[in-house]
Amino acid sequence: MAIAQIVEISSIIVFFIGFYGLITSRNIIKSIASITIMEMAVIVFFLGLGFLDGMNPPIGAAVENAADPLPQALVLTAIIIGVTVTAVNLTMLISLTRQIKSTDWDNVKNTSSE
C-alpha cells in the first residue's frame, strides 16, 4: 500500500474518532477537544494527498522531489483559525459555567427548558 493511502485512511479514522467523541461526550471540555482532533485529522489528510516516500520540504528554489506546497499554504492559515475557534469555544464555555455551574451537556438542556 502506498504511503499516501496509509496517511489518508488513518486521518479519516482519527477524524471519525473525534466525531464519535463529539456525539457521545457529556463533558463540554471533551467536546471542544474533539473538535481539535477533527481539525488535526483534516490537516493530515490534506498533507497526505499525493505524498510519496522520500519527498523533501518545498524550501529552496532548486529542491528536487519536493512535496506539494499548495496544501501546506492552505492549512497553515487553518491552524491559526483552529486555535481561535478553540478560544471562542472556551469563552462560551466559561460564560455558560457561570450560569449553570456545571460542564455537563445534560444540565444545559435542563436549564434551557425552564
Which positions from 80 through 99 interact with other proteins, judged by CB under 8 A? 80-88, 90-95, 97-98
- Between CA 61 and CA 78 the distance in angstroms is 25
> Please, what is the minimum distance in Å from the beta carbon of residue 7 to other proteins?
7
Report the residue from 42, 72, 109, 114 that binds other proteins according to the rule CB under 8 A.
72
Residue 113 contacts other proteins per CB under 8 A: no
- Pairs from 75-80 (Cβ < 8 Å, separation ≥ 24): 75/42, 75/43, 75/46, 75/47, 78/39, 78/42, 78/43, 79/39, 79/43
Residues counted in the chain: 114
CB 60 within 8 A of CB 20: no
Report the residue from 42, 57, 108, 109 that binds other proteins according to the rule CB under 8 A.
57
**Closer residue to other proteins in complex, CB, 90/111:** 90
The CA-based dihedral angle spanning residues 58, 61, 62, 67, taken in that order and rounded to the nearest 10 degrees: 10
List the beta bridge partners of residue 56. 66
> Please, what is the minimum distance in Å from the beta carbon of residue 58 to other proteins?
4
Number of residues located near other proteins, criterion CB under 8 A:
78
Report the residue from 101, 109, 112, 113 that binds other proteins according to the rule CB under 8 A.
101
Residue 111 contacts other proteins per CB under 8 A: no
